[in-house]
Structure 1
Amino acid sequence: MKELIVYPTPYLVKQHTAAQLKGKQGVTGEYPVTYEIFIEKCIKDNIASKTFLGDFKKNLIIERIFRKLKKQNKLKYFDTPRPGYIHRIGEVIGELKQQNIDAETFENIIDEKACHQDISILYQTYQDFLERNQFYDKEDRYILCKKHVRKSKFIAHYDTIHFNEFHKFSIIQEKILEALSSKVKITDSDLTVNMRQVKAVKAQNRRTEIINLAHVILQDLQDGLLPENICIVLRNRGAYENLLLDIFDEMCIPISLDKQAVLLQNPFIKALLRLLFYGELTDYFSEEWAKDSSASKPISEWIADLENFLEVQGYPEKFCHIHDNNLAVVKRDIDAFQSLQGVLTELNETDKMISKEAVSFTDFATVLDTHLQSCVYSYSSLKNGIWVIPPAMLRGLRFDKIYVPGMVEGEFPRDFRPDWLLKDKDRAEFNRKGYKFDTLDLLLERERESFDFLISSSQAGYFSYPMILEDNTSLLMSIYLEELCQKSAATIENVRFESVYCGKKLENIIAQERGVITGNTKQRLKEHFCNTPFSTTALNMYGECPYKFFLARVLNLSPVEEEDEYTAIARGTVIHKILEIFFKRHREKLDAAMLDEYTNDIKALADEVIKNYNLQDSFAHPLLLEIEKCGIITNIVNYLAWHIKQMGDFVPAFIELGFGYKNDFSLHFAPDIQLVGKIDRIDEDSKGRLVIFDYKVGSTPDINKIEDGTNLQLPIYIMAAEQLLKKTVAGGVFISIKKGAVDNILVKDDEDLPFISRRRKKGILSQQEWNHMMEAVRATIRTYVDDIREAKFLLNPKRCPKVDVYGSFCDFTGICPWEGED
């Protein structure tokens, strides 16, 4: 049965995938997707001839429609297209689509209020524009999915689709589930309060609150909590973002939070607008823009003039000179410049979509200013570290401990204001007709539900709130925290600024054995690695560099990848799966006369496997997919040709032989060390000799890497196979898919294997050498695991791309302090 798992948030996908890759589960099973990715895959064929319209362009188009309808005297309620009007109208249209209400239905359910009538005509005109021009917006994706999901090629691959941790569905989501009918299975975790340890703190102000939070997290990390198992929960990101980033950076605590700001707050953008409106010269602009301010021309032409002016001024390279190569500030302004370019591109494309209406320079500057007000840009990249997420995103997640600052009335629960466009009583009336519009009561219920997600996500929670704001306004503790403290009998600690700010306390916490793992953490790590099975990949990584193992397997750091990105790992998975299926179908000796038939089999398998892993969308263009597919097929067919010529009477006996997955597995010499692995193929000849084969898409390790302890795969597989099958194994071989032949080997000298050239010396061992090699590997495994359990993660690599570019790979060169031996 082929199953798909769909989650509402990317955090659930990440946590699921981390659990899937951890321990005995290896990398088997279906990879989950977010709801948004699910929608995209379902409608892929239906949007091929359409153009997507993002929120920015959507609001630009609504503004143009608004102006046109106003000139025609068709709007009775709205007067001028203020930015707040346009943005809110766009949100209401999106909300209507989420309720599965099209423009005609909305016209039929509203009353005679001028406000509703204006929204109706704006909605209908906007939707007519989309359909006429083959555009679709974000909410249209869900409507398209509802209409076409039954015939989706993507859905046809699956017998069951699990929708996990949604808890509640919108109207349009319910319609999609109805269309999927019997394929749907819905699973939600229990929201029973799981929190047994509650710590509550009342801080003097927000800065005191975050400094104290940093102290607490540092102590918890020293006591053995792991960064990936804790989480900071923010209901009001705007009030805490800068404080968290600055204080946690100062105290060397990694958090996963990018710096965001309104584009208008950037100094470069401010200087540009002052130049446009007032002709003011600054460090950014030392000369005026030579233009004819009295001229009228299309926005696209004004944009071309502005872009040319910025290029002549030397941007973006000029930022380096202005800021004297201060990289942080240069990056901030370059990010803002790139965001400005994005805004200009959107304005330009929208102007061409609708009409090239001539406007004055002042009107162009006003339009640009208006749309810059709604733009947010990130000027620091998202880093690996402790997650910082809003409470609504906690649904279904599990952590050892959570930390929740900002527990004040008006922020959590939020003080919602009535909607001025679709009033609360109107929303309630619509809901009596069977819809699910947000009302103030429903929004407060959702806030309570978010808090339920929060207190069910962990057994331990740290909560805090400030007593006063920066302007000395007093704040009240959240009713949610008050109730939680009453239920858990927790007292509230009072923390003042002078008790937490730097001084000896902070210096001691940061300076105390910097880079040294404390006793409590060592004990936690020992317990963890005594109960965790080791793969050959993990042992090889430790052999290459203990610090690399620490970053990848203790801190669980990994490079940021797009959800649908086609990686080298994905390519390897495809090739392994094709070969697995092929040899399961062809366990007999392959015939050279049937190579063309085998080639057709491989072509069909390539299509099938790529489709089953949903990798088609990972390529920017179908031609790139065909090029990649052709390369894979060619490599495999070349290998099969070699296989037919060189393998003698060896035929597949075992394919994908796994150990340590369903049941615990350890080698006899070390019963306390659990191992996990999967052997690609074991072949047997007429004499009963067994040989292990492992496919490698990239380079293949040679015997030198076995000897220096940086690749123990073949010896471990040989020992595991002999123990599982109770038969002697003649050797192990790496097959280079790129070369289409056996590459590096580890075999016994007296076996005379048909696919091993007698001229070859490297990797062919006498029985004495073989025994010595296996004994050395056993000793290495014992040493590595003992050192891991003792938390010995020295910065002392045997192989590192910083000094051995072609001999190794590492994801962490950008953050690793090692620069080679003197």
Structure 2
Amino acid sequence: MSLKMIYGRSGSGKTTIMYDLIKKNLEENPSSNHIILVPEQYTFRSEQKVLKDLKETSIFNVSVMSFNSIVKKVLNTVGGSNHDLVSETGKTMLMTRALFNIKDELVYFKRVSKNTGFIELAKELVDQMKRFDIDIIEFEKIIDNLDDIELLQKLKDIKLFYSEYNKELSKNYIDLIDEANYSLEKFKDAFFLKDSFIYIDEFNDFSEIQYKILEKIFLYAKKTYISLTIDVEDRFNDIFYITKDTDNKLSKVAVESSTYIEKPIIIKDETPKRFQKGKELDHLQKEFFKYPSKKFIKEPSNIKLYRAQNRYDEVERVCTDIINKTREDDTLKYNDIAILCRDIESYESVIRSVFREHDLPIFLDKRLPIDGNLLSLYIISLLEMVVYGYSYENVFKLLKTGLTKMSIDDIHILENYILAYDIKGYKYNEVFEYSYPNIRDEKLNKIYMDKVNNIREELILIYNDFLENIKEKITVKEKVELLFIHLSENEIFEKTYKDIYIDESIISKKSEGILKEQEEVNKSIIEIMDNFVEVLGEDILENKDFLSIFKAAIESHEAAIIPFTLDQIIVGDVARVKTGRIKNLYILGANDGIFPRTIRDDELLSDKDIIKIKEEGVEIGIDSRSKSFYEQFLVYTAFSTASEFMWISYAASDIDGKSLRPSIVISRLKNIFINLEEEVYINPYEVQNDGIESLDSRKGSFNKLIHEMRRDIQGEDVNPLWGEVYNYYDNNPEYKYKLKIAESGLEYTNQVKSLSEESANKLYDKNLYLSVSKIEKFSECPFAYYVRYGLMAKERKFYEMTPPDIGTLMHSVIDQFTEDIKGIELGISSLDKEFIRESVDLLVDKEIEKNNLIYKSSPRYRYMGEKVKKIIYKSIDTLTAQIAKGDFIPMFNELGFGVGSNLPPLAIDIPGEDKEALLMGRIDRIDVLEMEGKSYIRIIDYKSSDKNISLNDVYYGLQLQLLVYLEVVLKNWEKLVSNEAIPGAILYFRMDNPMIKGSLDLSDKEIEIEILKSLRMKGMILNDAKVIKSMDKDMEGYSLVIPARFRKDGELSSASKETILTEEEFTILREYTKKKLGLILKEMVKGNISIVPYKNKDLTPCRYCEYKSICQFDTKIKDNNYNNLRLFTTDELWNNMQKTKEEEDGKNLD
């Protein structure tokens, strides 16, 4: 029994000496067992090394083991425990059950004990306590001696779940640490250890249980060799703090087990074997942690420092460097290269994406979390449906995994309906009867309703049985069986592979890694279900607890992935990856707080807690000081990994553009290598490489080709080399189609061409049936009109009340109210407020019952319904007051014009076209004043928002509605009134319940006057004092009803030429409106669908346009310009429109 230590710095040849000793001992002791003991993650590479380095020697008696495997071999040889070994998933389930059992006893952790994150932290702390061999009796003594109240509460809770967990575990199971403890007494009977040679390599430290196993190995093995990374001559360097501490503990174990400690092997080579080709790397690992350090004067050729713009650029440049180096050196294989980060999570997705793009094979040495996998999402969503029923989130989270039989189109059809009517729960089992959202055509609506109900039936057919069968009061085993049957019958496992295979039997080479990962995920899900049955099988859990434990198991489970080929670039965390012999190393993410990592208190016991407990004589964890030494040691380990070349880089900004600082190791590196140049980000497309060196991988070169094609289009000089590259890709079946897409993309502009004559004719028949609002939409932006009314694209309807919905409701109620009171002899002005209030309540409730059930769906919407009632009541109350103040009498409400309406459509000739447009619409209210043998017409349009008429907007065709209504009435006046019809006014009335500003002592009369002022109608009125007085008989100065004012001399104020119009000006406006309509319609039928929104100062329809994500209008893009409207003065507008009228009059004379 003897122990021989091997000391040396990284790269000094410790492993080489170890294998030389194996060869020597194999020759001298061929019948003895030779066991190489390495960390778990290093066993595969060690087995490869044994086959390679010991091939000429008898290796039948050589075994590569980890601590776990040596324990298993002892127990398999001698006889193990009667308990089954619990998996990590099983431990999560047991911890969940343990915490549930003691939930009422917990104090400090009571509120967080059900959180998945806490379950994992509790499990890790229990494992840590076992690794440190914590005796529960000693733990209780600490609790008795503590005076720190907060820590005392923590430890009492920890003792509770530690004890409860072990109680649950001991019923049927044993974990790895307990198994190791159990095996200790068995080592003496393990014959394979007797007179064996043990070689322990690649460790820096050991846990308490591992020291106990080492004690047994020292006792029964013939000779034990252990290598440690220590520079024995450098006594004062803290970098070896961890390994020196390990060495002291090993010596103590050896003494206690009466093991003879031989003279160690100390490697003192000036230049270690690893760095024979990398002198700078040798200098780096020797001097980096020395103070003062020796400077390296020459410009280093084996070390490169790069400051990247961001992580994507950082990884992109690494790919380019790897491609160049493997191209320059035929002997450099991918498995000679490693990429290390200290924050692999931040780089993982970028590395996968960029390396795939460059066709570089990588093996990510990291256990794969399965909680984001589609299969995991499907199962969790399914179980959430069990607990919470058919809710939108659960149903569509499940359907959108793509693992169901439902097509994506069917999912969208169902989703639109569910969102529009807030369907949930039992409603899924009832036939959907409400009309399909945004479809008014009855035939088309029936098609969609049949379709959505068929989809609904398909959905409940698949899931109802499962949801009904998985009862609360059945065992966990029965629930798991039901889940497995559902997954099998619906071929869910098979569907996880559907996007990986090219067809049923062929898989693309690029997808091999993805296939392996999915296979491991599927195995993991089966393993979780097996663990459920094994650990909790006979328990009866409520479905919400079943879901909670399943979710915790999935979130904590990580699948082990093994390399599917040997020649791959290894990628991983500095702390985990054991790289073996690496020629070229790339260290990414050398940023402040990341490399080395900042020590944080993110565990159940803080650093302060750990130190306090240590002072009481019990070691329960690693304190921040030791963690800091560990981080320094990782930096040293990384810097001494490569034998020939090392790249180190950092990102200047994160994904959001926030600046990042370089790590302290960067400044230290520059301080030692005084001529080390820091390369900085340069746009690769701005660097013109004329030679073949500009080409790297097929994908990378393809991207560069596209850039050169863009330069060529812009008229820049391009190297003829790129013509040959173009021909290569054009003749490559894999890239030919991609090249064509790229070419079309280079010619891309979001601006659209006009519709062909054939398409325009299909869209616009011989006679166009249009509303004025559609024409105004075209004037705002032709493309928006085309998308809305040509393509019939509509925003998804949600189960919510929008301003247009509220406006429609208010319109409907006011129209019905005015219709209902037609028979009242004294008219609307005679109605009292109570009658109006009761009528409004009745009509709103009736309308809600018929079309707007959403108002009953929640307290918020019920409140909104009451608010709408108040607005309508106040609006009608104001309307009655306005009518009462004048002599105009409401004659018509909701008067329609168009095919099948009260009045015929308004026909508009389209210049130069053999077509005419027929305008249709509905006029909210027409008031009439009979005076002096003439009928004065007042058109009123109800609006739910504030609106006025602008002559500029009329001029540009943006506001034609009221003028079209006026034209329709005047053109058909004989059908409506007995006398000649004269335009009296065109006005907007805003429906609102305004807030009145003023003192608290305002009288009712004063409040009423303020409300009338606030809701004063806006628009244009005839310049006739009698007519104006007939709209507001009490008018003195400013009118409370219309936008007019009398001066003190009794004359009308001429303050606004846009508001007070003569009869001639009304005629000019009417004639101009018809002319403008014809010009707009001409552009429409010509197929103009250009993306040219208007702009009036800062006002543009793009601000609220629902189609801006389609057109992607941006003035920075070529051919993207606003239709900037010149704002004319009122006089200029009247002159321009007068000319139009005179032109029309001249044509009529001709």
Q: Considering the TM-score relative to the shorter chain, is it more than 0.5?
A: yes
1:129-148 matches, within 5 Å, as 129-133=168-172, 135-148=173-186
Q: CA deviation at 1:58?
A: 1.0
Q: Distance in 1 between matches of 2:384 and 2:688?
A: 45
1:364 is aligned, of 546, 550, 555, to: 546
**How has the CA–CA distance of structure 1 residues 323 and 90 changed in structure 2, closer, same or farther, with 3 Å as cutoff?**
closer
Amino acid at match of 2:345: G
**Which residue in 1 is equivalent to 2:879?**
none
Gaps of at least 5 residues in structure 1 are: 515-822
Matched, 1:247 2:366: no
Amino acid at match of 1:39: V
Matched, 1:256 2:293: no
1:41 is aligned, of 59, 73, 91, to: 73
Q: Distance in 2 between matches of 1:273 and 1:16?
A: 40
**Which residue in 1 is equivalent to 2:192?**
154
Q: CA deviation at 1:457?
A: 2.4
Matched, 1:351 2:536: yes
Q: Distance in 2 between matches of 1:366 and 1:265?
A: 16
2:103 is aligned, of 59, 70, 80, to: 70
**How has the CA–CA distance of structure 1 residues 209 and 34 changed in structure 2, closer, same or farther, with 3 Å as cutoff?**
same
Q: Secondary structure at the match of 1:464?
A: strand
1:551-590 matches, within 5 Å, as none
Q: Distance in 1 between matches of 2:170 and 2:126?
A: 15
Q: CA deviation at 1:389?
A: 3.5
Q: CA deviation at 1:89?
A: 1.1
1:209-358 matches, within 5 Å, as 209-224=314-329, 225-257=332-364, 262-278=369-385, 279=390, 280=395, 282=399, 283-285=402-404, 286=406, 287-288=459-460, 289-290=463-464, 291-292=467-468, 295-318=472-495, 328=511, 336-352=521-537, 355-358=538-541
**Which residue in 1 is equivalent to 2:282?**
194
**Which residue in 2 is equivalent to 1:81?**
114
**Which residue in 1 is equivalent to 2:677?**
491
Matched, 1:4 2:34: yes
Matched, 1:54 2:87: yes
Q: CA deviation at 1:418?
A: 0.8
**Which residue in 1 is equivalent to 2:201?**
164
Matched, 1:482 2:667: yes
**Which residue in 1 is equivalent to 2:637?**
453
The answer to whether the 8 Å contact 1:104/1:124 transfers is no
Q: Secondary structure at the match of 1:90?
A: helix
**Which residue in 1 is equivalent to 2:153?**
114
Gaps of at least 5 residues in structure 2 are: 1-28, 147-151, 232-271, 273-280, 285-301, 407-458, 702-1150
When normalised by structure 1's length, the TM-score is 0.56
Q: CA deviation at 1:356?
A: 1.6
**Which residue in 1 is equivalent to 2:599?**
416
Q: CA deviation at 1:494?
A: 0.5
2:56 is aligned, of 1, 23, 26, to: 26
Q: Secondary structure at the match of 1:256?
A: strand
Amino acid at match of 1:209: E
Bigger Cα Rg? 2
Amino acid at match of 2:639: I
Q: Distance in 2 between matches of 1:180 and 1:24?
A: 24
Q: Distance in 2 between matches of 1:408 and 1:502?
A: 30
Q: Secondary structure at the match of 1:400?
A: strand
Q: CA deviation at 1:94?
A: 0.6
1:390-429 matches, within 5 Å, as 390-393=573-576, 397-429=580-612
Q: Distance in 2 between matches of 1:22 and 1:185?
A: 21
2:626 is aligned, of 427, 433, 442, to: 442
The answer to whether the 8 Å contact 1:5/1:164 transfers is no
1:602-641 matches, within 5 Å, as none
Q: Distance in 1 between matches of 2:135 and 2:79?
A: 19
Q: CA deviation at 1:295?
A: 4.2
Q: Secondary structure at the match of 1:383?
A: coil
Q: CA deviation at 1:471?
A: 0.9
The answer to whether the 8 Å contact 1:202/1:492 transfers is yes
Greater RCO (CA < 8 Å, at least 6 residues apart): 1
Q: CA deviation at 1:57?
A: 0.8
The answer to whether the 8 Å contact 2:369/2:557 transfers is yes
**Which range moved further: 33-42 or 21-30?**
21-30
Q: Distance in 1 between matches of 2:664 and 2:345?
A: 21
Q: Distance in 2 between matches of 1:314 and 1:449?
A: 50
Amino acid at match of 1:368: F
**How has the CA–CA distance of structure 1 residues 501 and 138 changed in structure 2, closer, same or farther, with 3 Å as cutoff?**
farther
The answer to whether the 8 Å contact 2:589/2:595 transfers is yes
**How has the CA–CA distance of structure 1 residues 168 and 130 changed in structure 2, closer, same or farther, with 3 Å as cutoff?**
same
Q: Secondary structure at the match of 1:194?
A: helix
The answer to whether the 8 Å contact 2:311/2:651 transfers is yes
Q: CA deviation at 1:383?
A: 3.4
Q: Distance in 1 between matches of 2:168 and 2:199?
A: 36
When normalised by structure 2's length, the TM-score is 0.41
The answer to whether the 8 Å contact 1:259/1:380 transfers is no
**How has the CA–CA distance of structure 1 residues 497 and 49 changed in structure 2, closer, same or farther, with 3 Å as cutoff?**
farther
Matched, 1:510 2:697: yes
Cα distance per residue 1:647-688 (max 9 Å; x no partner): xxxxxxxxxxxxxxxxxxxxxxxxxxxxxxxxxxxxxxxxxx
Q: CA deviation at 1:464?
A: 1.0
**How has the CA–CA distance of structure 1 residues 302 and 444 changed in structure 2, closer, same or farther, with 3 Å as cutoff?**
same
**How has the CA–CA distance of structure 1 residues 31 and 404 changed in structure 2, closer, same or farther, with 3 Å as cutoff?**
same
**Which residue in 2 is equivalent to 1:373?**
555
Cα distance per residue 1:10-66 (max 9 Å; x no partner): 565455544544478535453433333223223333435221011211121121122
Amino acid at match of 2:403: Y
Using the aligned pairs only, state the percent identity: 20
**Which residue in 1 is equivalent to 2:218?**
181
**Which range moved further: 149-158 or 52-61?**
149-158
Amino acid at match of 1:310: L
**How has the CA–CA distance of structure 1 residues 503 and 270 changed in structure 2, closer, same or farther, with 3 Å as cutoff?**
farther
**How has the CA–CA distance of structure 1 residues 378 and 434 changed in structure 2, closer, same or farther, with 3 Å as cutoff?**
closer
Q: CA deviation at 1:447?
A: 0.9
Q: Distance in 2 between matches of 1:471 and 1:273?
A: 31
The answer to whether the 8 Å contact 2:75/2:186 transfers is yes
The answer to whether the 8 Å contact 2:497/2:518 transfers is no
**How has the CA–CA distance of structure 1 residues 442 and 257 changed in structure 2, closer, same or farther, with 3 Å as cutoff?**
same
The answer to whether the 8 Å contact 2:303/2:647 transfers is yes
Amino acid at match of 2:371: L
The answer to whether the 8 Å contact 1:8/1:34 transfers is yes
Q: Distance in 1 between matches of 2:584 and 2:622?
A: 32
Amino acid at match of 1:153: F
Amino acid at match of 1:58: K
Q: CA deviation at 1:116?
A: 0.5
**How has the CA–CA distance of structure 1 residues 427 and 148 changed in structure 2, closer, same or farther, with 3 Å as cutoff?**
farther
Q: Secondary structure at the match of 1:87?
A: helix
Q: Distance in 2 between matches of 1:346 and 1:386?
A: 35
Q: Secondary structure at the match of 2:492?
A: coil
**How has the CA–CA distance of structure 1 residues 441 and 475 changed in structure 2, closer, same or farther, with 3 Å as cutoff?**
same
1:724-763 matches, within 5 Å, as none
Q: Secondary structure at the match of 1:444?
A: helix
